Amino acid sequence: MKKYTAAVVGIGRIGWTLGYDKKREQPASHVMAIKQNKRLKLLAGVDTDSNAQKSFKKKNPFVSVYSSVQELFENCSPDIVVVAVNEDAHLSVALDVLSRSPKLVILEKPVALNLKEAAKIKSASKKYGVPILVNHERRFAFDYNEAANYIKKIGEAQSINARLFSGMKLYDPDAEESGAYSLLHDGTHLVDIVLFMLENLDESGKGKNRALLKNPLITGIYRDQKNKRIVRELCAHYTSNLCPEISLFMSGRSRFFGFELDILGTEGRVCIGNGYAKFYKRLESSLYTGFYSLSKDKTIVLPKKTGYFANMVQNAVDFLDGRRPLKSTLQTGINALAVLEEIKAALLN
């Protein structure tokens, strides 16, 4: 069976080194996921940091190392190029890579710092005919896909509550150029997974191409006590034709990291987050005569691993084979970014 070649631009945490985190489910980086896929051959790692280059070469002696995209393509022509640089370099590196016309680009989330930059990436993608897979990892995880399938069995959707807890400042206008704030860095995952669930509720199949969230109302804004320009907490409320009540709670003042989703239907419920997934269905109550209660659905058995990174890379292979569409596209990434910009605009008013 045909093998595809790949290169990773940006061999930092998500690009490479998280592959050595003993607590994380592995593979947990682009390099490790590519190396573990039998259909892929890693040709090169690219980074401007000479120390990163040396460390990478020491651990990967048979993989080439380059300092720029130009140097990469002067020496080889990978089928897949991963763009795993910091957010503030997404635009320049993505445009550089797209102009070289690989078969596929895997772009780290968020798509860009803002919609204006995202539009330039989209234009280049069309110009050079290069499709883009965005690494919103939960779209590929077994547990979140099971949840997306299960919500079709729990009656009509009543509410979706998504919550993010972090110690990183939620929004800081002084960090616009770097993207170093949680609303963008982590909030993109929260918004995207809500959109993913709504897409799976949309029987028309048009969800990926239109706005699923409407009528935004931003409440509970909590600002830093020392610098009022910095936002530490907020809740964004939305409605949708697919679910009447949707709330996105984001905290940047928690002393722990958490990510969770609670979807309530008229006949069941799904609760899923970091390290757990619980599914409930309507059954005759064991507590009250003549009533029904929600009970844990014991028929759902999930694999020990979510496969979030391995499945993402496999989706790239399947797409190039012509067997599967991309599960996380440039457009779905832009949809998430649009919601984040809408929230940010409310914070600045």
Closest CA to 140 of 28, 46, 228, 279: 28
Nearest in space to 243 (alpha carbons), one of 140, 170, 145, 155: 155
Which parts of the chain register pLDDT below 70?
Answer: 204-211
pLDDT digits (tens, 9 = 90+) for 71-129: 999 999 999 999 999 999 999 999 999 999 999 999 999 999 999 999 999 999 999 99
3-state helix, strand, coil in the chain (%, to 5): 35, 25, 35
Instruction: Label the pairing between strands 245-251 and 157-165.
Output: parallel
| CA contacts within 13 A on the Cβ side of 59 | 15
- Name the burial class of residue 349, with classes exposed (0-12), middle (13-18) and buried (19+) by CB atoms within 10 angstroms of its CB: exposed
pLDDT of 1 reads: 78
At residue 205, the pLDDT reads 59
Measure the CA–CA gap between 341 and 52, rounded to whole angstroms: 33
Buried b (16+ CB within 10 A) or exposed e, 186-209: bbbbbbbbbbbbbbbbbeeeebbe
For residue 42, give both structure tokens.
């890693």
The pLDDT value recorded for residue 208 is 55
What is the C-alpha separation between 349 and 347, in angstroms, rounded? 6
Which helix (H) or strand (E) segment holds residue 241: the answer is none
- Report the Cα 28 to chain-centroid distance in Å: 13
In the chain, how long is the greatest CA-to-CA distance? 75
User: Can you tell me the distance from the alpha carbon of 337 to that of 188, in angstroms, rounded to the nearest whole number?
Assistant: 7
Are 274 and 259 spatial neighbours (Cβ–Cβ below 8 Å)?
Answer: yes
Looking at residue 202, its pLDDT comes to: 82
90 CB neighbour count, 10 Å cutoff: 24
Q: First and final CA of the chain: distance in angstroms?
A: 56
> pLDDT for 44-75, tens place per residue?
999 999 999 999 999 999 999 999 999 999 99
